[in-house]
Homo-oligomer: A and B are copies of this chain.
Amino acid sequence: MERVTEIKAREKLAVAAIRSMVIDVTNNANSGHPGMALDATPALYALYRDHLVADPEHPYWINRDRFVLSAGHCSALLYSMLHVAGYKISIEDLHSFRQVGSKTPGHPEFGMTEGVDATSGPLGQGIAQAVGMAIAEKNISATYPDGAKVMNHYTYCLCGDGCLQEGVSQEAISLAGHLRLNKLILIYDENGATLDGPTSDSFTENVKLRFMASEWNVIEVKDGDSVDAVSKAIEKAKKSICFPTLILMHTTIGIGSKHAGDHVTHGAPLGKEDGEFAKKSYGYDYPEFTIPAEVYEEMRNTFAARGKKAYAAYEDALSEYESFHPDEFKRLVDAFDRNVEKYLPERVEYSKDYKKATRITSGEYITRMVNSIPFTLGGSADVAGSTKTSVKGVAMFSAEHPEGRDMHYGIREFEMASAMNGELLHGGLVSYAAAFLIFSDYLKPAIRMSALEHLPAIYIFTHDTIALGEDGPTHQPIEQLAMLRSIPGNVVWRPADPKEVEAAYEFALMRKDGPTCLVLTRQSVPTLDNTDVDKAKFGAYKVFTPNGPAIGQVIATGSEVSLAIDSARILESRGIFVEVVSMPSMELFRKQDKEYRNSILHFPYSKRISLEMLSTFGWGEFAGHCIGIDRFGESGKGNEVMEQLGFSVDDVALKIAGALKGE
């Protein structure tokens, strides 16, 4: 009984200390979101003290439990918790919360701060990524012999109302339930307030029922302010052998503050007066930015000790694993280090007769890739048949076949991409995801996240122009390629033929620090004479030199490279000589030195003409004249739509000639 009283007292002190730190941190920065951070403190404390298995000494330990703060605006709580838990966040770091150059930015950023397992803040994407982590855990555990010895952890996530209102959360919840991700535990902090007012102004759904509809366990915690109650709920959730679990926890926003329960505490620091009022209500009487020694001590004895022990045990188990399964051990290490080079499929020679859509060549590459890299996991958003991502003999990843490596994400593009991000944050997999280029619109926020998190995501976008035909303007991409190219850190490839497809995949697989988008045709393209796997990686290079003194050059990508060459040949027969440059990747070309760039784009600006059956937006950087499509498409047969919009070989030749005359 005394023991219980003692624990309760320590617990109360710890929660008060962390809450007070949240108040100090946000007050000091005069910025940040204390409201939910305060009410979620007991839950996070319960998670770290009693459950989370992770080791601050080895923050990227591959078998640690993952924790994603989907409500990224509560970063002050996460940083305070990580500080208390022994991660490398000092009091000084907390002092410089939300300041330039600090490791405590406004929203958690993966790779910047040890203990932060995901970038979060754009609402919904935390949950969406956590689902990917749980997929990775399940898949890795199932694909290695005795896999539970190398991979066996939980994925936790904390969210608020905002995340659940965003559509992507439903895609994530639905997929997680379908896939029976039983080791995924989501804590929903139901505090009744959003930025603009009480949640009930815009959100009155029965969340419990909604999760049950998606085949989740639901545990309701009436008093989210009780560390004990939340801890017991997590304990119960961990025992799930089939379904993911939602812990629906009722709390009071800004608890302790004069405005407790009011949405005004959501977005603004409490300020000095209310901050002191709140600390008093917690019974906390320490100077600012102070954590009592016994609070640190408690976390050392619980969280840190548990993590240290688990890490050591894992190291032992891994040594043993190495001796029993040396090959698989090496594979595991390679997978987590993304040592892809030695698994790369051998290059294929393409004969001149090879004439296929680049999506078909891509499908062939995927088959070779999946067969030669044993740790791939990828698929599509219900367009495997069209994007050619399925590989013969490879099982669909499912509850029954967690060793399956073919992902059926369903018609959920955004979650597909976010799950891929989660898989890559988790590590141990080469992931890829496919959709029609037009639906890059639906998952764009996740590509940005891949880039922010420096994840080597591989996006495969097929059906890349109006040439896709009958599906018409709703399905014909125009501005999507420009959108992809504008994302910082994203590398976009639009290969002209099978050799450039090969180059694109090699690049994407070898990349370690950011996403790559492959943009592919629905229709067949010829294998070109002068394309080259290695040269393509420079981003742009010459592929056609006319039989006469060139007066300009056409810069084309993808299916338009052969169109440009055909047009240049027609012009050649009329005594107008133009070069053709293939530019499969603007981003890679920009990275070349000035000498190379000038050697490729060696004509004056006004004599450079871009050719792409997509928006001309962005081409002004390279070409003084742009041939493209700055309107929506048309429903009709692919070649007829091309004709209609001025992309017959003859029309293009005329346009090029006109542009060179300065028309």
Contact = CB atoms under 8 A, between A and B. Distances in A.
A634 interface: yes
A408 interface: yes
A194 B178 CA distance: 15
A201 B414 CA distance: 18
A165 B410 contact: yes
Given A122-B475, A619-B621, 18 more contacts: A32-B470, A99-B636, A100-B637, A106-B635, A165-B410, A165-B411, A166-B412, A195-B383, A195-B386, A196-B385, A202-B382, A203-B410, A205-B213, A206-B215, A483-B486, A488-B631, A489-B632, A618-B620
A139 to B, nearest CB: 16
Interface stretch (A167-175, A356-364, A455-463, A541-549): A167-175
A636 B101 contact: yes
B203 A100 contact: no
Contacts of A121: 471-472, 474-475
A160 B98 CA distance: 45
A336 interface: no
B171 A166 contact: yes
Interface string A467-508: 001111111001100110111110000000000000000000
A544 to B, nearest CB: 24
Contacts of A451: 632
Contacts of A94: none
Interface string A634-655: 1111001100100000000000
A632 B452 contact: yes
A513 interface: no
A118 to B, nearest CB: 11
A486 B195 contact: no
Nearest to A96: B636
Contact of A486 (B106, B165, B487, B618): B618
A99 B161 contact: no
A201 B396 contact: yes
A78 interface: no
A177 interface: yes
Interface stretch (A57-65, A424-432, A438-446): A438-446
Q: Which 6 A-B pairs have the closest CB atoms?
A: A167-B167, A202-B410, A100-B636, A620-B620, A620-B621, A105-B635
Contacts of A486: 479, 482-483, 486, 615, 617-618
19 contacts: A31-B470, A100-B635, A100-B636, A100-B637, A109-B474, A166-B167, A166-B411, A167-B170, A194-B410, A195-B386, A197-B408, A202-B411, A206-B213, A209-B209, A210-B213, A442-B445, A444-B444, A483-B486, A489-B631
Interface in A377-434: 380, 382-386, 396, 398, 408-415
A152 interface: no
Interface in A575-634: 605, 615, 617-622, 624, 630-632, 634
A126 to B, nearest CB: 11
B444 A441 contact: yes
Interface string A85-117: 000000000000011111001110100000000
A122 B413 CA distance: 12
A385 B195 contact: yes
A225 to B, nearest CB: 24
B488 A630 contact: yes
A622 B620 CA distance: 8
